[in-house]
């Protein structure tokens, strides 16, 4: 190879190697783009049906739970007949209670028939102090300021951890869970009525407690 061509070849090789080195350095030194995790806004009013159908059971529990994850704390215990009734917390879910079909995966909302009503959810613990095993016969209702009675234990709702009333409880045993009421959407001051049905003396035992609201 002639000296002039050799010199040109070496020069081209050096320039090419330099370009490759620069490219590699730029690739190494370039900051990596971080992928930010996008959290799904769990507001059913702003979601399409297709988006609702992609929700997991855990996400549906969040939608059905208290606003901002904070229920209204009650922390009050009363005796009603043979039962110690512990009122833990209460919250509203005004957009209905959402459930997901295990067959089709379709998510839908269960709502009261009136547009002026929503659901209230009360968490309770009921302990049997009768001295023997017996059926839990404690009922829960809420009374509006105008005297209207809204029965608790609405059937068919898919609320998490429902209260199993009417089942057998041993002496000293308890049942704990959530009770669903239909309540006015304007969140008035309500009265909670707790009743033990069919006590030993044949009369119902009743306690009425003002229900705190936001």
pLDDT digits (tens, 9 = 90+) for 32-54: 444 333 335 788 888 999 999 99
Quickly count: other Cβ atoms within 10 Å of residue 164's Cβ. 12
Please return the burial class of 114, using the count of CB atoms within 10 Å of its CB with bins 0-12, 13-18 and 19+. Answer: exposed
Highest mean pLDDT among 1-10, 66-75, 102-111: 102-111
Per-residue pLDDT tens for 142-167? 898 888 888 787 766 778 888 887 77
What pLDDT is attached to residue 200?
Answer: 61
Is the whole-model pTM more than 0.85?
Answer: no
Say what the alpha-carbon torsion angle 66, 69, 74, 76 is, to the nearest 10 degrees.
110
Predicted pLDDT of residue 202: 59
Using pLDDT thresholds of 50, 70 and 90, give the confidence band for residue 20. very low
**Cα Rg of the chain, angstroms:** 32
User: What pLDDT digit, counting tens, does each position of 99-122 carry?
Assistant: 999 899 999 988 888 888 888 899
């Amino acid at each position: 190879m002639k000296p002039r061509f050799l010199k040109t070849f070496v020069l081209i090789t050096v320039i090419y190697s330099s370009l490759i080195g620069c490219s590699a350095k730029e690739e190494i030194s370039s900051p990596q783009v971080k992928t930010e995790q996008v959290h799904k806004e769990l507001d059913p009013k702003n979601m399409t049906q297709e988006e609702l159908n992609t929700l997991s059971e855990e996400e549906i529990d969040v939608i059905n739970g208290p606003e901002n994850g904070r229920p209204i704390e009650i922390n009050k215990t009363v005796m009603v007949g043979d039962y110690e009734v512990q009122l833990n917390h209460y919250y509203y879910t005004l957009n209905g209670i959402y459930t997901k079909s295990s067959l089709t995966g379709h998510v839908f909302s269960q709502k009261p028939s009136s547009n002026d009503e929503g659901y209230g959810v009360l968490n309770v613990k009921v302990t049997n102090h009768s001295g023997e095993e017996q059926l839990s016969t404690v009922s829960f209702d809420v009374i509006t300021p105008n005297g209207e009675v809204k029965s608790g234990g609405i059937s068919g709702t898919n609320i998490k951890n429902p209260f199993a009333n009417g089942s057998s409880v041993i002496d000293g045993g308890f049942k704990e869970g959530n009770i669903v009421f239909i309540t006015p959407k304007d969140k008035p001051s309500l009265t909670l009525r707790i009743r033990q049905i069919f006590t030993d003396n044949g009369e119902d035992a009743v306690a009425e407690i003002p229900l705190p609201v936001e």
